[in-house]
Structure 1
Amino acid sequence: MDFAYTAEAGLAGLFLASFLSATLLPGGSEAVLFAVIKLHPEQTLPALLLATLGNTLGGMTTYAMGRLLPQHLAPEKSALARRRGPPILLLAWAPIIGDALCAAAGWLRLAPLPCALWMATGKAARYVLVAAGAGMV
């Protein structure tokens, strides 16, 4: 059986890798994005959009898991959440702390829509930098 790498297969794999790497599972969606846009430069914009969407949905899954934690265990809005709120999720892309920030935002019951928007903004910026490194932006 021959397997032909197509742009569609690459985009589907990129979405899946982006989603899974934003949950508590380890993964590196940046390498997948880099490979997809190097092999199919005409797919740079769809790749950026799908990677951002998948990674944001994965982050919001972690947010939702944080909301499952008992509310009575949550601090009365920590100082960081009080001072920074959803904009702290610009750092949701960062290794190690990103997953913790997403889970904490859910646990602290920060509003989901602003959390998703700030999260998507940070993740999109990171992916644009990866695309720029590939010479595509």
Structure 2
Amino acid sequence: MHEWLANYGFLSLFFLSFLASTLIPLGSEWLVVTMLLSRSDPFAVVAVATCGNYLGALTTYLIGLYGADFLKTRLLRMDPKTTQKAERLYERFGSYSLLLSWLPVVGDPLCLVGGVLRVRFIRFSLLVATGKLARYAAVAWVTLKGAAAI
């Protein structure tokens, strides 16, 4: 599967980044690193990964905005403990906690809670896209610096 994903380049990166931000516990960073080490354009890699990951988070936000509890528990497999962690982050930091939407475990619930709490779309988009862009840019920077040192 690793080889198949690597062979389809940007399309694979987009879909893997999208899925990593929604239903399936996946990581897309390995493909970002693989593509960068294969000499793909770093700006394009970061842009595609960020777009896919943002759109996946937007899907989760829309489920929170319009979805029923059934969708939250069955589709996203959100248990009460994970949802409570996300809600506590919101209580403490407000919508700015969406900057942390890139984090494993609590990132998807943060986007879901953003929808449930009706965070404005523009605010949601700016905060989530900024966080996800920062993550992929950091992965790219570390990868390229490490590759240059070799």
Out of 126, 129, 134, the position equivalent to 1:120 is 129
Distance in 2, matches of 1:79 and 1:95, equals 16
Gaps of 5+ in 2: 69-86
What is the alpha-carbon distance in structure 2 between the residues aligned to residue 99 and residue 58 of structure 1? 9
Deviates more, 1:15-24 or 1:83-92: 83-92
Question: Distance in 2 between the 1:34 and 1:10 partners?
Answer: 12
- The residue type paired with residue 68 of structure 1 is Y
Q: CA deviation at 1:82?
A: 6.1
Displacement after TM superposition at 1:64 (Å): 0.4
CA distance in structure 2 between the aligned counterparts of 1:84 and 1:117, rounded to whole angstroms: 16
Residue 22 of structure 1 corresponds to: 21
TM-score by length of 2: 0.74
2:33–2:139 contact (8 Å) kept in structure 1: yes
What CA RMSD, in Å, does the superposition of the two structures yield over aligned residues? Answer: 2.4
1:93/1:123 contact within 8 Å kept: yes
Say which of 123, 128, 141 aligns to 1:132: 141
Greater mean alpha carbon deviation, residues 107-116 or residues 79-88: 79-88
Task: Write the deviation string for residues 81-121 of structure 1: whole angstroms up to 9, x where unpaired.
Answer: 46633321100000000001000000011101111110011
Aligned-residue offset at 1:51: 0.5
Q: TM-score, normalised by structure 1?
A: 0.81
Q: Give distance in 1, aligned partners of 2:19 and 2:37.
A: 22
2:111 corresponds to 1:102: yes
Provide structure 1 residue ranges, at least 5 long, that are not aligned to the other structure.
71-77
Q: How does 1:1-137 map to 2 (within 5 A)?
A: 9-41=8-40, 43-69=41-67, 81=90, 84-135=93-144
Map of 1:75 onto structure 2: none
Q: Does the Cα contact within 8 Å between 1:15 and 1:50 map onto a contact in 2?
A: yes
Higher helix share: 2
Runs of 4+ in structure 1 off by over 3 angstroms are: 78-85
Deviation at 1:79, TM superposition (A): 7.5
